[in-house]
Amino acid sequence: MIRFFDDRRYLIPFRTGLLPQVFTDTLVIGTGVAGLRAAIAAGEHGQVIVLSKGEAKVSNTAMAQGGISGALGEGDSSGDHQRDTLSAGGGLCDEPAVRTILERGPARIEELVAWGMRFDRREDGRLALGTEGAHSHARILHADGDATGRELVRCLWERARQIEGVRVFECCFALDLLTPSDAPGSPVMGAITFHSRFGLQVIWAGATILATGGAGMVYRETTNPSVATGDGIAMAYRAGAQVADMAFVQFHPTTLYLAGAPRALVSEAVRGEGAYLIDQTGHRFMPEAHELGELAPRDVVSSAIVRRLRDRGGTHVFLDVRHLEGFGERFPSIAAVLGSYGLDPARDPIPVNPAAHYTIGGVVSDLGGRSGVPGLYVAGEVASTGLHGANRLASNSLLEGLVMGEIAGRAASEFTSGRDPGGDLPASGWDGGVPGAPVSVVSDIRPSDHGQIDLSDVRSSLRSAMWHNAGIERTAARLADVADMIDFWARYTLDKVFDDPEGWEAQNLLLIGALIARSASWRRESRGCHRCEHAPDPDPRFAAHDIWVRGAEGPTVRPVASLHDRARA
């Protein structure tokens, strides 16, 4: 066990009584699909503050090229969607979560239509439904071809602005969740934050919703924006929440691979339209790897690319769209990016390689959006609901954010008013959702006398080490090596007190890397998007969830059917 991660409760020393105080009924941390939908739901019943660590419209959601899945087409059904999701999930999906989220999905989509979201439509006016990997039906809705996330964020922001009680704090970094004590089960009462203009401040809240997204920036190759540093998982872990299944990180098979260029996503919908993956010789290799070819689950495609490069050499493969008509009209954003690098998809195969894309593991959440810590709710990529199991089915994530965001927002507002039937405690410190006199919280941290270390070097080295040692294909030796590396960097980073987001992000990334390495080392099998060269097959002994809690010697192993047991840390 890496003691540095488990000894640290807060990132900075503070006394809440000496800092500026802000009060609200519900605090939402994150401005992606889950955070915005949660704010809309909670804002209908009380005051809401929404935090964005950067500009409010920068999120994984806003960058999403893929669509929103929903069983809306002829011949399709929620049951078919559930079967596809369970098949992709490698035996670790929680069936009640799959059923609840996918059955409620169509209503959330219809709600978006009513709110003015501009989904792509067919010539007859009906919603256009596309196909993506491992889906048995055409059930993926897009907007502006490959700009679904951007249009979704626009729609949700427009709705949120219509709600008087919703306030947005941009460029406001949440450092840690506040609890009145460090005892197990101590309720979350808000967060300590750092605003780029106003500095440190305390936001007291009757309920707090984490919707901070994933942790793709822990890897050198990633499709995620720079804000995806795993802050929500890290601060929930420090506050005593349960974190599950961190070994499962989904890698997107096709990101633009050009030396020195950002790893721009090339949507799975491109393969859904009939694009081929070819190697350096022009050979199409996916039909040899899986019966579904390019539409196999993402872990299968990513691993096939890695093996092809290992066996045949080279730094990348190619996505061939030269045979597709109207590529620029169907995927205008992708075509524009390619054009900026002098690539013509009608003439040039697109150089691609896998990159970290989606954090499947996260803070354990029941189907009311509740974590195991009173007053703390989670929704979206930061959460582990059991929907995705060991491998996320394409385009299920935006749907999960919509469904669970609404559920968490409504449950949080009920908690602040004492009406939440699933809550373990009344809203401690609050009366009918109106802020009372909060307790004083004190954090005393005394930095060690360890030497200094360059933060940019730590981040760069961590991301490279995670990519090589805890990436698409793993071995026990490489996982042990990266754990040792993280332990070393932690000695010189986690003992420091930083005064800006760069330092706090580095500390969070080290914790995320350690959790991934721990989980992957424990899971001595290959399942879903966790591929071990030393254990290439699924092992029934690991058909379970690994739950991690700060201060524990190792994971609690929980059967699939009981992921949502809300045992206290």
Active site residues: 298
Closest CA to 120 of 107, 136, 138: 138
Angle formed by the axes of helices 396-416 and 95-114, nearest 10°: 90
For residue 196, how many other CB atoms are within 10 A of its CB? 13
Alpha helices in 215-341 (DSSP H): 231-238, 268-272, 286-289, 298-312, 327-330, 332-340
Ramachandran angles phi, psi of 267, nearest 5°: -50, 145
Token code pair at residue 367:
């189907």
Residue 89 near residue 134 (C-beta atoms within 8 A): no
Residue 47 near residue 26 (C-beta atoms within 8 A): yes
Token code pair at residue 257:
């691979």
DSSP string, 42-85: HHTTS-EEEE-SS-TT-SHHHH--S-EE---STT--HHHHHHHH
Return d(Cα 52, Cα 198) in angstroms, integer.
15
3-state class (DSSP) for residue 442: strand
Return d(Cα 32, Cα 398) in angstroms, integer.
9
For residue 87, how many other CB atoms are within 10 A of its CB? 16
